[in-house]
Each structure stands twice: as C-alpha cells, then as structure tokens.
Amino acid sequence: MDRFAQMTVDGVSKSFGPQHRRHVAVDAVTLEVTPGSRIGVVGESGSGKSTLARMMVGLDAPSAGSISFNGAPLRSLLKLRASRLELRREVQFVAQDTTSSFDPLRTLRDSIRTPAQRLAGLDRRAADARVDATVSMLGLSPALADRHPGEVSGGQRQRFAIARALVVEPNLLVCDEVVSALDVSVQGSILNFLKRYCVERDAALVFVSHGLPATAFVCERLVVMRGGQIVEDGPTSTVLNSPRHDYTRSLLAAFRGPAAQEGPA
Ligand SMILES: Nc1ncnc2c1ncn2[C@@H]1O[C@H](COP(=O)(O)OP(=O)(O)OP(=O)(O)O)[C@@H](O)[C@H]1O
C-alpha cells in the first residue's frame, strides 16, 4: 500500500436505531484529508464528532456515502486481512475511552509491542526499543509500561494509548478527545508533541475535541460540527477571527480569551 496521500469522506451519513426511530448522528459530511493537514473537529456533545472519527478509521460503517483511502474504498480495504493491516500501518486511532481499549490481562508493553511487531514489522528487540522511545517521548517512564492498564492512572493510560498508536509511525492519526483526561501541564506537552510529530513527518491529524483552545493550538484547520453536519470549515485563524456561522460564534464566545489563539489551556 502506498503512503497515505488522501482520505476522502464523501457525503457520509450515519444513523442509529430502528427504522421508525432513526437518529442521524452524522449527516452528509464531506471532508478531505491530505498529508500534513491538522484538522480540528469541534462542536457540542452529541454533534457527531466521534461517530465521524470512528467511520474514518473503519470502526463504524457509514449508512450512506463513502470513504476512500488513496482512492480505494475503505470498505474494500478493510475486507482483506493484508490490506487491513497495511491500512492500520498508515492510519491509527486513539479513542476517548482508554479503560476498555487495553486488554486488562496484558501489560501495557505487550499491548504496545504487538502493533510495533505486527504492523511496523519490527523484531521483538527493536519493537521493545521503539516502545521505550515512544513512551519516553510522551513523558512516561518505560518501567511503567511493565504494569497492567489497571495499575496506572487514567492520564497515564491515555498517554499509553497515544504511544500505542504512534509506535507504528502512522501517516494519519485520528484522535478522539485524547487530552481531556490529562493535567493542564501534561496536556501542553502532549499537544506540542503531536504537532511536532505531524510537522516532522508530514503526517495528517484529525483531532476531535471539546476544547477549542487546545484544538486551535494544534490544528491549522477547524471543522465545526453541529447536529451531525459541518457548519463551518476553514483555516483556524479565519474561523477564530471571522466565523461565518452563528453557532461558531457562540462556541467562540464560550471560550473567549487570548488562550484560544496563543496556546493550549
Ligand atoms: N452506537 C450508537 N448507538 C446509538 N446512538 C449513537 C451511537 N453512537 C453515537 N450515537 C448517537 O449519535 C450522536 C452523535 O454521537 P457522537 O458520540 O458522535 O457525538 P460527539 O460529538 O462525539 O459527542 P461527545 O463530544 O459527547 O463525544 C449522539 O446523539 C449519540 O447519542
């Protein structure tokens, strides 16, 4: 599989529930992601951000519309084991809920080493070295990786989840509320780290978050969602300084302050 060049989300919708009580979580969303783009997806709770992110990594299937990776339908890439593994090598996801995302019976090191071996093709020794280097870059002691997920704090587990995604060095990283559980000081260093990671390797980031200041700090493009739809999409500075939609204005008003433009808060 070629290196990530383009992901296209084309008129994608997702509904939940029985026919007579259909709830439309994502409604005809169109979005294009290319290398180096860092896209922040913001919006109120229930606006469809997580559902969109899950569809982009193939964890949920769209009810309508299509998603393609380098021109190939995601659905067909996911069908075959070989292309699914290659896709996972290129596209990684960090979920909001880290409690259920790690196997409680395995050490964190085991869980992070597996993708380093299986997806990045490293032997055990190289994979262990990669695990140590990655967790260290995220401000964690490698010794902590020998614990089980229940033996570290929620914030540490969140950083291990980021490490598990980064250990395969993906070229598209999709993050769903990855810093909300972290202390403010740790948030800042993780946001800096994610931004640097993307800039250095021309990787793309889709960063789903409630936190507008953090999102504006990391992302050069902001997508605002409401009721499953994208109501605004543009360069971060344009969206912050001259929002076109009333909803964006009210979202900005809630976060009004210099922090929105100067750095994570
Ligand atoms: N598996 C599901 N089954 C039924 N409804 C769902 C499911 N997943 C999401 N929804 C509904 O879809 C809508 C969008 O949810 P989603 O989690 O995508 O929003 P969100 O913007 O990420 O919210 P939050 O910021 O609170 O995580 C919500 O009304 C939610 O209740």
Q: Where are the domains of the chain?
A: 7-255
State in Å: Cα 52 to ligand 1 middle: 9
State in Å: Cα 82 to ligand 1 middle: 31
Whether the pLDDT of residue 259 is over 80: the answer is no
167's enclosing H/E stretch is none
Q: Report the pLDDT value the prediction gives residue 144, as an integer from 0 to 100.
A: 97
pLDDT digits (tens, 9 = 90+) for 49-70: 999 999 999 999 999 999 999 9
| Closest residue to atom 7 of ligand 1, CA basis | 16
pLDDT digits (tens, 9 = 90+) for 227-246: 999 999 999 999 999 999 99
* Summary mean pLDDT of the chain: 92
Task: Indicate which atom in ligand 1 lies nearest the CA of residue 48.
Answer: 18
Taking the domain 7-255, which CATH number applies? 3.40.50.300
State in Å: Cα 208 to ligand 1 middle: 13
State in Å: Cα 72 to ligand 1 middle: 27
| Closest residue to atom 2 of ligand 1, CA basis | 16
Res. 109 pLDDT band, cuts 50 70 90: very high
pLDDT digits (tens, 9 = 90+) for 89-105: 999 999 987 778 899 99
User: What's the number of CA atoms in the CB half-sphere (13 Å) around residue 168?
Assistant: 28
pLDDT digits (tens, 9 = 90+) for 29-47: 999 999 999 999 999 999 9
Task: Indicate which atom in ligand 1 lies nearest the CA of residue 51.
Answer: 18
Ligand 1 pocket (Cβ < 6 Å) reads: 16, 23, 25, 43, 45-51, 210
Structural tokens at position 229: 């739809």
Structural tokens at position 157: 């587990």
Q: Which residue has the higher pLDDT, 103 or 259?
A: 103
Res. 261 pLDDT band, cuts 50 70 90: very low
User: What's the number of CA atoms in the CB half-sphere (13 Å) around residue 65?
Assistant: 20
Q: How many percent of the chain have pLDDT more than 90? A: 83
Structural tokens at position 241: 């300084």
Most informative mutation of 51, 93, 100, 224 for ligand 1 (most atoms within 8 A of CB): 51
Task: Indicate which atom in ligand 1 lies nearest the CA of residue 47.
Answer: 21
Nearest to 87 by CA among 169, 4, 166, 174: 4
Exposed e or buried b for every residue in 40-68, given b needs 16+ CB within 10 A?
bbbbeeebbbbbbbbbbbbebebeebebb
DSSP 220: S
Least confident among 13-27, 163-177, 190-204: 13-27
In angstroms, how far is CA 132 from the centroid of its own chain? 22
* Predicted complex ipTM: 0.91
Least confident among 105-109, 120-124, 185-189: 185-189
State in Å: Cα 228 to ligand 1 middle: 9
State in Å: Cα 54 to ligand 1 middle: 11
Whether the pLDDT of residue 256 is over 80: the answer is no
Whether the pLDDT of residue 220 is over 50: the answer is yes
